[in-house]
Chains A and B, each alone.
Chain A
Amino acid sequence: MAFQLSPEQTREADEIIARYPTKRAACLPLLWLCQRQTGWTNDEVIAFVAEKLELSTAAVKGVVTFYTMFHEKKVAPNVVWVCRTLSCELRGAKAVQEHMEKRFGCSAGGTSTDGKFTLLKAECLAACGQAPMIQVNDDYYEDLTIEKLDAVLDQIAAKTPEGK
């Protein structure tokens, strides 16, 4: 089925487009708007944004593939990014990643056996002074210990319905 925005989102999209001197400039904000609705940036989303902004689908696809936060594959309801760049690695990022891999039953890049979490590796997330840290969806969890990490993941898991 072709991708659609709700009437309210359509108003938001039009308001965003009006901010810029070119339609094309609304490409990233619109992709964000759509991805927040669908969870990932599939071909229908790309076709929708291309039509809305009068761009070729190739142009929009080229944008999507450039940025790591647009998911080209379906992901679990919770995307966990674990920062493994230097400041975090000095403070235990590897142990954090290993712990999650064990807990989720998958390695980085995969999805947990219960289907609730996708685990991805991130580069420096601008929270180096609060290392080690992870990002889950829009939120940062910082100054982690293994205990705190488990508490955070327990809480998120409890709020996430079962199912792949």
Chain B
Amino acid sequence: MSNSFSPVLTKRYGIEGSETLAVAEKHGVYTVARRALTEMTPDQLKDEVKKGSIRGRGGAGFPAGVKWGFLNPGPDNQVYLVVNGDESEPGTFKDRTIMVKDPHRLLEGCLIACKAIGAHKCWIYVRGELAHAIKVLDKAIAEARAKGYIGATPFGTDYPIDIYTHSGAGAYICGEETALLNSLEGRRGEPRLKPPFPAIKGVFDQPTIVNNIETIAQVPDIIEMGGDAWAAMSRLGPADGGSRLYGISGHVKRPGVYEAPVGITMRQLIDEYGGGMLNDERPLKGVIPGGSSTPVLRPDRLVDAPAEDHPLHAWHGKSEIDVPMGVETYRALGTMLGTCCAIVMDTSVNMVDVARNLMRFYGHESCGQCTPCREGSGWLVDLLDHMAEGKGKDTDTQLLADVANNMMGNTICAFAEGTAMPMLGLIRQFTDEFTEAAKNGTGAGRMDDSALALIGAAP
């Protein structure tokens, strides 16, 4: 199925030394930036990115070309580019591969994006744990600066561009763009009320474009191939273009990061890329499709879209995991594509234990500014703890849903939705399991049954 596709973004991943400027340049890196900076206008660049119809790779799937169009700087404004390398959404581990394996292509993307949006300064914000990736990037920046690609006169032009890394220090919420901007300003990473959106008033009160690492790293490919040709790699038509990184983790034989066209199916991701289920005796029970904030899918649940004008009509009666993975198709399915990194779970797993693991994460990471989020996430953890330990009540499943529902729509940032939606999704898809746990608990509460032998641990 992946026959006619050859990787674009990851084509240098396997090349020894591709993180050095010499090797990267030998394989074509910086030729696009040179052309973009010396021969192309910002409007031409923005136009190609728009034609590429790249949906933001950070989770929300907003079209990057449209976002860039929101900028409307005044004469005294300084536009900034901020690249989001916080990569903290559980299950997500794709951006790190770009930073470590092809840092110069990312820098090339930063240079082109700066020119396109009128920025002279770019910060790459990387979560603090990825100290190694920061070192690799800093080295790449130093090399590119020494060569004159970054600095006062990139490629001999009079369009100065500076690029710096900025290290976070451990806080999931700093991935949220306004929290990230506060963190970059040296503050606690607490999200800001929107509007104003960053494109109007972002970091240091200046118009700011925030894009995900992968989004920016794909910009050189879009310019190189031309927006239309790049978009055409997608199997989902013109609104969701290109190829992208898919991650797969959990109970599969070959977890990892793979590049594929937009619009492969979850079944393909699991079977063709992930090598199938880890244990052949234990089939797929559920899959969290795009990072922990996205509602779970179940293979035995069929798409119900009899109406011909339903966006999923073409897949009516098929399994949820046979719907192509796209921003709009997944929204129609009642979930989200998110970061496009799937967590695969086999039949050994109890979904109440899954909820407990994830809600503990959210309870720990809520920044605490909004009462529904701070208190609600804590209540979810308490309820799930009780349930799992066999101390639940009949009414607990409903109570979980009520608490989750009350977290939505009442908060400063989308963290609360990102907590409530997967909670509600698990309850909706696996109601019986919650009802059962409320009665009898979940037993051992371990989820590594399928993997213990693999790591050589006593069962």
Nearest CB on A from B248, distance (A): 7
Nearest CB on A from B85, distance (A): 10
Judging by beta carbons under 8 Å apart, are A67 and B96 in contact? no
| CA distance in complex: A32, B90 (Å) | 25
* B386 interfacial by beta-carbon distance below 8 Å: no
Minimum CB distance partner of B364 in chain A: A123
Judging by beta carbons under 8 Å apart, are B169 and A126 in contact? no
* A105 interfacial by beta-carbon distance below 8 Å: no
* Contact residues in B for A138 (Cβ distance below 8 Å): 131-132
Q: Which segment, of B63-71, B180-188, B312-320, faces chain A? A: B180-188
Nearest CB on B from A50, distance (A): 11
Judging by beta carbons under 8 Å apart, are A67 and B189 in contact? yes
Q: Which segment, of B16-24, B227-235, B259-267, B444-452, faces chain A? A: B444-452
- Which one, B170, B288, B358, contacts A68 given CB within 8 A? B170
| CA distance in complex: A19, B78 (Å) | 14
* B340 interfacial by beta-carbon distance below 8 Å: no
Judging by beta carbons under 8 Å apart, are B91 and A87 in contact? yes
* B5 interfacial by beta-carbon distance below 8 Å: no
| CA distance in complex: A87, B365 (Å) | 17
Minimum CB distance partner of B344 in chain A: A90
Judging by beta carbons under 8 Å apart, are A67 and B457 in contact? no
Judging by beta carbons under 8 Å apart, are A90 and B455 in contact? no
| CA distance in complex: A69, B131 (Å) | 12
* A157 interfacial by beta-carbon distance below 8 Å: no
* Contact residues in B for A90 (Cβ distance below 8 Å): 249-251, 343, 345, 349, 447-448, 450-451
* Contact residues in B for A130 (Cβ distance below 8 Å): 93, 255
With A22-B186, A85-B357, A127-B96 known to touch, is A91 a contact of B130 (CB < 8 Å)? no
* Contact residues in A for B9 (Cβ distance below 8 Å): none
* B42 interfacial by beta-carbon distance below 8 Å: no
| CA distance in complex: A63, B174 (Å) | 13
* Contact residues in A for B128 (Cβ distance below 8 Å): 32, 67, 69
* B75 interfacial by beta-carbon distance below 8 Å: no
Nearest CB on B from A21, distance (A): 5
Contact with A along B202-231 (1 / 0, CB 8 A): 001000000000000000000000000000
> What is the number of contacts between chain A and chain B, taking CB atoms within 8 Å?
178
Judging by beta carbons under 8 Å apart, are A87 and B249 in contact? yes
Q: Which segment, of A3-11, A107-115, A142-150, faces chain B? A: A142-150
* A119 interfacial by beta-carbon distance below 8 Å: no
| CA distance in complex: A128, B257 (Å) | 10
* Contact residues in B for A146 (Cβ distance below 8 Å): 455-457
| CA distance in complex: A67, B190 (Å) | 11
Judging by beta carbons under 8 Å apart, are B172 and A123 in contact? yes
Q: Count B interface residues, CB 8 Å.
A: 65
- Interface range for A: 35 or more
Judging by beta carbons under 8 Å apart, are A32 and B167 in contact? yes
Judging by beta carbons under 8 Å apart, are B455 and A126 in contact? no
Minimum CB distance partner of A81 in chain B: B129
| CA distance in complex: A135, B361 (Å) | 18
* Contact residues in A for B343 (Cβ distance below 8 Å): 86-87, 90, 128
* B247 interfacial by beta-carbon distance below 8 Å: yes
Judging by beta carbons under 8 Å apart, are A63 and B91 in contact? no
* Contact residues in B for A20 (Cβ distance below 8 Å): 204
* Contact residues in B for A147 (Cβ distance below 8 Å): 456
Judging by beta carbons under 8 Å apart, are A126 and B127 in contact? yes
| CA distance in complex: A70, B354 (Å) | 29
Q: Which of B88, B89, B187 has the most CB of A within 10 A?
A: B187
With A25-B185, A66-B189, A146-B456 known to touch, is A126 a contact of B92 (CB < 8 Å)? yes
Q: Which of B188, B190, B448, B454 has the most CB of A within 10 A?
A: B448
* Contact residues in A for B447 (Cβ distance below 8 Å): 86, 89-90, 94
- Which one, B129, B204, B361, contacts A125 given CB within 8 A? B129
- Which one, A29, A94, A99, A127, contacts B167 given CB within 8 A? A29
| CA distance in complex: A29, B185 (Å) | 11
Interface residues of B in 79-135 (CB under 8 A from A): 87-93, 95-96, 127-132
Minimum CB distance partner of B274 in chain A: A129
Nearest CB on B from A54, distance (A): 12
Nearest CB on B from A57, distance (A): 14
Judging by beta carbons under 8 Å apart, are B188 and A126 in contact? no
| CA distance in complex: A66, B132 (Å) | 22
Judging by beta carbons under 8 Å apart, are A92 and B448 in contact? yes
Contact with B along A56-97 (1 / 0, CB 8 A): 000000110011111000000000010011110111111110
With A31-B169, A130-B255 known to touch, is A92 a contact of B452 (CB < 8 Å)? yes
* B352 interfacial by beta-carbon distance below 8 Å: no
Nearest CB on A from B225, distance (A): 28
13 further A-B pairs in the complex, CB-CB below 8 A; given A90-B447, A92-B451, A95-B452? A22-B186, A28-B186, A86-B447, A90-B250, A90-B345, A91-B249, A91-B250, A96-B455, A96-B457, A123-B365, A128-B255, A131-B249, A131-B255
Q: Which residues of B contact A (CB under 8 A)?
A: 78, 87-93, 95-96, 127-132, 162, 164, 166-172, 183-190, 204, 247-251, 255-257, 288, 292, 341, 343, 345, 349, 354, 357-358, 361, 364-365, 446-448, 450-452, 454-458
> Can you list 5 A-B contacts (CB < 8 A)?
A90-B448, A94-B446, A124-B90, A130-B93, A144-B455
